[in-house]
């Protein structure tokens, strides 16, 4: 069960499409050529480097190495997602990391040990690939949730402070924003669950089909993946929101940014 | 009975080099007796609004102690404290929705101590006591004039039945008749065992006056009858 290998010359051919897009950008003065080129070079370097690392990791395939890499992925997930969040209060890295760690580990290992029943339990071929998909997708959901929460709190600042003045706890004053934030974070996942198979064939299923897998076999894998991505996104978003909103308030329960007067 | 007591308050506005001392701790004491109507006075920028916010625990005090009916602020949850000591900001903030939504918001979304939902009749009475007979409960709150919003904000606060009201310039930006209605309603609140600390540019008939001096000190003066 092997896909046709892509030669280096063919890979370069694919790169020419980027030049076509870049050429259009130059013709229309859109200024996209430079970012496109940089992104192309990064794609080459990062994916080839990852391929080389995976060759090595798959060969060694020991628990400590897999866990070390997974830990690195968890920390990077929290770091990268927080870079996308504006209006965030200080000191939310550890609460976000905790949410990523709890949801990422729980969902990834539940699926690999209970559903797929990987043997040995730390098999890099499964843990790192499936873990990567879980983290990559839940990262987007958590980032969207946190972004919306703090943006909404920023916009509702006066209203929140008025609620606090009327005796609301931070939870009560934030609740409308929490609901909006959670729905913003989960909507893309829910939408893609509804559209999958009708509008698009997801990446993992495409990969398996190209590699010659039985379509039903590939579909079952994809269902597992979709469900666990939704679970990880929901758990991660709920936990990170629950821990993060408290950081926007001081110990007296007042919105921190509103004290600047 | 002492409703609110402040002892050796240190209060600053801002931080670092730009900070300004409002109260300096030593001898910065005052008490509000239950039922008293107290006028907080002082020049512009002296920190009257900040002091009101600090008494509502909306901004932190740097040192000193606050007591509500002889119970220390340290023993009372901030949200409970603010339900008893209600702060009315100078600029009224309306929630999205109707006049009724605004009046009932605290009952529907906050665990207020006063649990029974007010009836439409009670809401109507509260509005008319503030001269808001012309508005309906179904009207969108953001269509009200500034003066109407100011009174609606006061009505919203009154129906949660706080023990003390800290009102920051409630009579600014309203006409003379409206100012009179607000003043009378707050006096009536005091007559029913409520306590009021109010700021206002200009004179105001009150039971007691607290002057913020601007040098970190305050002076308390009783009305001489």
Residue-wise pLDDT for A155-178, tens only, equals 999 899 999 999 899 999 999 999
According to the model, what pLDDT value does residue A31 have? 85
According to the model, what pLDDT value does residue A199 have? 83
- For the cut 70, the answer to whether the pLDDT of residue A205 exceeds it is yes
According to the model, what pLDDT value does residue B214 have? 84
- For the cut 80, the answer to whether the pLDDT of residue B114 exceeds it is no
Which of B176, A196, B156 lies closest to B167 in space, CA to CA? B156
DSSP A97-150: HHHHHHHHHHHHHHIIIIIS--SSTT-HHHHHHHHHHHHHHHHHHHHHHHHHHH
Asked if B78's CB is within 8 angstroms of A252's CB, the reply is yes
Asked if A166's CB is within 8 angstroms of B86's CB, the reply is yes
CA dihedral A28, A15, A125, A209 (to 10 degrees): 90
CATH of domain B2-222: 3.40.50.300
CA dihedral B104, B108, B113, B115 (to 10 degrees): 80
Q: Which residue, among A156, A159, A172, A252, would best test binding to B if mutated, counting the most B CBs under 10 Å from its CB?
A: A252
A124-159 b/e (C-beta count within 10 Å ≥ 16 → b) = bebbbebbbbbbebbbbbbbbbbbbbbbbbbebbeb
Mean pLDDT along residues A26-47: 89
Q: Could you tell me the residue ranges of all domains in chain B?
A: 2-222
According to the model, what pLDDT value does residue A261 have? 39
Q: Which residue, among B110, B152, B170, would best test binding to A if mutated, counting the most A CBs under 10 Å from its CB?
A: B110
User: pLDDT tens digits for A79-134?
Assistant: 999 998 988 888 899 999 999 999 999 999 999 999 889 999 999 999 999 999 99
- For the cut 50, the answer to whether the pLDDT of residue A260 exceeds it is no
According to the model, what pLDDT value does residue B113 have? 65
User: pLDDT tens digits for B195-207?
Assistant: 999 999 888 899 9
- For the cut 80, the answer to whether the pLDDT of residue A1 exceeds it is no
Query: Rounded to whole angstroms, what are the CA distances from A105 to A65, A130, A185, A231, B65?
Result: 16, 11, 20, 12, 47
- For the cut 90, the answer to whether the pLDDT of residue B115 exceeds it is no
Percent with pLDDT over 70 in chain B: 97
According to the model, what pLDDT value does residue A172 have? 92
- For the cut 80, the answer to whether the pLDDT of residue B15 exceeds it is no
According to the model, what pLDDT value does residue A58 have? 94
- For the cut 90, the answer to whether the pLDDT of residue A238 exceeds it is yes
CB of A163 less than 8 A from some CB of B: yes
Q: Could you tell me the residue ranges of all domains in chain A?
A: 1-60, 61-260
Residues 28-87 of B with CB under 8 A from A: 56-60, 78-80, 82-83, 86-87
Distance between B54 CA and the closest CA of chain A, angstroms:
11
DSSP class of residue A189 equals H
User: pLDDT tens digits for B16-62?
Assistant: 777 888 888 888 889 999 999 999 999 988 999 999 999 999 988 89
Identify which has the larger pLDDT, A244 or A6.
Answer: A244
Q: What does the H/E/C string look like for B157-179?
A: HHCCCCCEEEEECCCCCCCHHHH
């Amino acid at each position: 069960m092997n896909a046709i290998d892509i030669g280096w010359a063919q890979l370069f051919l694919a790169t020419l499409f980027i030049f076509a897009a870049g050429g259009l950008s130059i013709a229309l003065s859109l200024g996209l050529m430079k970012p496109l080129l940089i992104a192309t070079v990064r794609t080459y370097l990062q994916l080839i480097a990852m391929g080389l690392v995976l060759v090595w990791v798959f060969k060694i395939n020991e628990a400590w190495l897999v866990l070390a890499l997974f830990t690195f992925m968890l920390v990077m997930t929290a770091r990268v997602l927080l870079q996308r969040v504006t209006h965030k209060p200080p000191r939310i890295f550890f609460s976000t990391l905790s949410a990523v760690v709890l949801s990422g580990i729980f969902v990834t290992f539940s699926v690999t040990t209970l559903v797929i029943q990987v043997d040995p339990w730390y098999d890099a071929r499964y843990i790192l690939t499936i873990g990567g998909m879980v983290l990559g997708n839940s990262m987007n959901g958590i980032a969207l949730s946190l972004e919306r929460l703090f943006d909404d709190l920023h916009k509702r600042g006066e209203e929140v402070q008025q609620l606090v003045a009327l005796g609301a706890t931070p939870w009560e004053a934030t609740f409308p924003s929490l609901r909006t934030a959670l729905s913003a974070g989960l909507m893309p996942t829910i939408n893609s669950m509804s559209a999958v198979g009708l509008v698009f064939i997801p990446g993992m299923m495409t990969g398996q089909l190209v590699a010659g897998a039985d379509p039903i076999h590939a579909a079952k894998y994809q269902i597992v993946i979709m469900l666990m991505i939704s679970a990880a996104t929901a758990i991660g978003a709920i936990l990170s929101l629950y821990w993060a909103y408290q950081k926007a308030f001081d110990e007296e329960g007042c919105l921190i940014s509103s004290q600047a007067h | 009975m002492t409703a609110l007591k402040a002892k050796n308050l240190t209060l600053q506005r801002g931080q670092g080099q730009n900070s300004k001392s409002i109260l300096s701790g030593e001898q910065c004491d005052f008490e509000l007796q239950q039922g008293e109507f107290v006028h907080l006075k002082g020049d512009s920028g002296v920190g009257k609004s900040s002091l009101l916010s600090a008494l509502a625990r909306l901004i932190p005090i740097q040192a000193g102690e606050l007591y509500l009916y002889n119970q220390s602020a340290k023993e009372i949850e901030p949200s409970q404290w603010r339900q008893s000591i209600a702060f009315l900001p100078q600029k009224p903030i309306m929630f999205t929705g109707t006049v009724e939504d605004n009046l009932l918001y605290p009952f529907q979304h906050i665990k207020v101590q006063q649990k029974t939902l007010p009836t439409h009749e009670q809401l109507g009475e509260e509005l008319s006591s503030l001269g808001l007979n012309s508005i309906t409960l179904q009207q969108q709150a953001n269509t009200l004039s500034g003066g109407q919003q100011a009174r609606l904000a006061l009505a919203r606060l009154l129906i949660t039945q706080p023990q003390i009201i800290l009102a920051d310039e409630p009579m600014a930006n309203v006409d003379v008749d409206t100012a009179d209605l607000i003043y009378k309603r707050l006096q009536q609140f005091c007559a029913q065992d409520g306590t009021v600390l109010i700021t206002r540019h200009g004179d105001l008939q009150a039971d007691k006056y607290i002057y913020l001096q601007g040098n970190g000190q305050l002076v308390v003066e009783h009305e001489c009858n």
